Structure 1
Amino acid sequence: MKTQDDQGCPLNPCSGFRFSLSFPGNSAGYQKMQDYGVDQPAVLNGFQGSSIEIPFSFYFPWELAKDPQMSIAWRWKNFHGEFIYKSTLSFIHEHFKDRLILNWTQGQTSGVHRILNLKENDQAIYFSKVCLQTTEGMKCWQSIPGTKLNITHALSTTMRTPSIITSADPTAGLEDIRGQRNPSLLNLGAMVGMVVAKVVVIIPLYGWMIFLWWKKRPAE
């Protein structure tokens, strides 16, 4: 009796998929050996500080139990990597605390994983895992290739431009190319300030003297 296929994999499938030699860009490039699997995009690119969505869908041939008890889990880094999310336990990995959202409703065969506030060390491969109760017992399987998430730094569109500052200080906002105030401008500003101060003092004094003279002049 033949117990292996032409690739040396037992007829009771090793993984649920037969790998193609090339990776064309998504899990649809894998030749199915069974009627179950999880589809995810092969690669996604995100910017640090932004959010990203990883869509997934799954399919299976079995008849669901009256209570299918569907659940979704999420691993990262490698196929047997740490779980970072489990819908049944409301578990979220500490690294992703307050940053993971699963948009999926019990009974649906597709959904979206969302990661908020992307960090540089979020760059990894992510795998969706499905478990459900069928008339033949509990069945669990997950994406084999997963989704590779690349994180890049967002480009800053803000350019530094000279600022114009309105101030009572005549030297405010006057800077040379090294960011230092021009000494000559400082001196000029100081001189102007002294002149203004003297004028402010002298004008009232002269006004008072004129008033006294007017009071003492002989009446006509």
Structure 2
Amino acid sequence: MAQLVSLPGGILDMACVLLLLLPAACLQAGNTAGSYRERPYGFDQPTHVSGVQGGSIEIPFTFYFPWKLAKNPQMRIFWRWKQYHGEFIYDSSSGFIHKHFKDRIFLNWTQPQTSGVLTILDLKEEDQAVYFCRVFMNVEKEDKKPEIFQSIKGTHLTITQEEHIPAVSTTMQSPSIITSAVTTAGLEDTEGQRNPSLVNMGAIVGVVVATAVLITPVYVMLIFLWWKTRPAD
């Protein structure tokens, strides 16, 4: 006979409480796992997607059901927007496309696939809304009525504005560089060269002095000749 392990009273009480809570915890975990698909049919879509104005987005979808498809299922995929009973924007069988999405919406899906992707191009600000996928199909059952069901929560699309970064010319210098260059040039002028204004002034003075030196003898000669030729008193 196996020997029983003696436990202190406090630990034994705690073990009893844990054993009592264990079935409830297991039951709760089972309910959580089973609540992922509360109904035997439905859609799986992302709850939210975002795109940049002028860009594109993709909304993947998957649907599930318990029935067996008929020999001719005639599956059709529809898309609605804005609200659960909103306008239809796409019909896979007729090729209908809402005028707002003309040449901008495409469906990547082929019958009898149960998953696909909706693509919207050239996003506009007005595209921001909720999008709902809907399926129509013939299945094998006694009443032979087609099954039609739709995503309940849909996918919320958010459009953001494109950020424009101003172009910077590669030939433009920053003010600090230009100031530095001017300052450096000024230092070089004062250290290695004379100031242009001083140079000009010196040149002018030189010309005046040279002119005076050349003209003075001429004036002296003219004065001397005038004095020699003047009539005697």
TM-score range, shorter chain: 0.5 to 0.7
Structure 2: which amino acid aligns with 1:155? E
Q: Find 1:71's aligned residue among 56, 76, 79.
A: 76
CA offset digits 1:154-175 (Å, max 9, x no partner): 11134253868xxxxxxxxxxx
The alignment partner of 1:91 has SS state of coil
Work out whether 1:141 is the aligned partner of 2:141.
no
Work out whether 1:92 is the aligned partner of 2:97.
yes
* Counterpart Cα distance in 2 of 1:70 and 1:157: 47
CA offset digits 1:110-147 (Å, max 9, x no partner): 00000000001100000000111001220010100000
Q: Find 1:81's aligned residue among 65, 86, 98.
A: 86
More helix by share: 2
Structure 1: which amino acid aligns with 2:67? W
Map 1:11-90 to 2 at 5 A: 31-90=36-95
Distance 1:90 1:30, change over 3 A: farther
Work out whether 1:154 is the aligned partner of 2:159.
no
Identity of aligned residues (%): 55
Structure 2: which amino acid aligns with 1:135? E
Aligned to 2:23: none
TM-score (norm 1): 0.59
Number of residues of Structure 1 aligned to a counterpart in Structure 2: 137
* Counterpart Cα distance in 2 of 1:96 and 1:110: 22
Unaligned runs of 5+ in 1: 1-27, 165-220
Structure 2: which amino acid aligns with 1:149? L
CA offset digits 1:61-116 (Å, max 9, x no partner): 01111000111000000000000000111000000000000000111000000000
* Counterpart Cα distance in 1 of 2:106 and 2:123: 13
